[in-house]
Each structure stands twice: as structure tokens, then as C-alpha cells.
Amino acid sequence: YTIGQRRGIGIASGEPLYVVHLDADRARVVVGPREALETHKIYLRDMNWLGDAALSDIPTAGLELFAKVRSTRPPRPAVLHHNAGITSVELVDGESGIAPGQACVLYS
């Protein structure tokens, strides 16, 4: 199964169900409505930062920019945060079906 998958789930329901979470430790696939796929905050790892300032110099309130997590969609408004060694991106409008390991490209 993959995050966002709808076909082949094998559960009858009055509304379409999608894979919203995979729990490998417990061998569980969590399903829910399409709205449950929407993510507003993602955490980044293995980041390659090419910004003008150091990542540690980002203001506490965050750095407004644009983020792209889907190759076929345009960049969307986002806020980059970097605090205590943790880097996250707040997606202003949210994005559906983001999975761990997926790329996130940031634009100024």
C-alpha cells in the first residue's frame, strides 16, 4: 500500500476511503476520507540548503517562501522553520498525500 492509495483496499464503505497512514511496526494500514490525507506541516531531513543566509539564521517566526512537494503542481506558499536543529515546513494551504521520504523543494 502507499499513502493516498484508493484502489485495492478491499473495504466496503459509503464513501471513498484512502490509505492515510502506514504503521509497519504493528502491520497496520490506516484508511480514512480524502480530507484525512491533507498535511499542513512536514519535517525535513537530509536537507541540502542553498539559501543566502545560514539555516540557523532563519527568524523564529519562520521564513516565507514557496514549497513544491509534487512534480506536477506549482510551488505553493509555505513557511520554513528551523529551531533546535529541527527543520519543518508549514504548508499554508495544505497538501494531500505526502509520504515519508518524499522530496520537498523550496523557492524564494
Q: How far, in Å, CA of 88 to CA of 41, rounded?
A: 7
Domain 38-107: assigned CATH number:
2.40.30.10
| Cell representation of residue 46 | 537530509
Structural element, H or E, at residue 88: strand 86-96
Cβ count within 10 A of residue 19: 21
Walk along the chain (108 residues) and give the pLDDT tens digit of each residue. 888 888 888 888 889 999 988 999 999 999 999 888 899 999 999 999 998 888 889 998 999 999 999 889 899 999 999 998 899 999 999 998 787 888 999 998
pTM of the entire predicted model: 0.76
| Cell representation of residue 48 | 541540502
Cell numbers 493516498 correspond to what residue? 4
3-state secondary structure of 34: helix
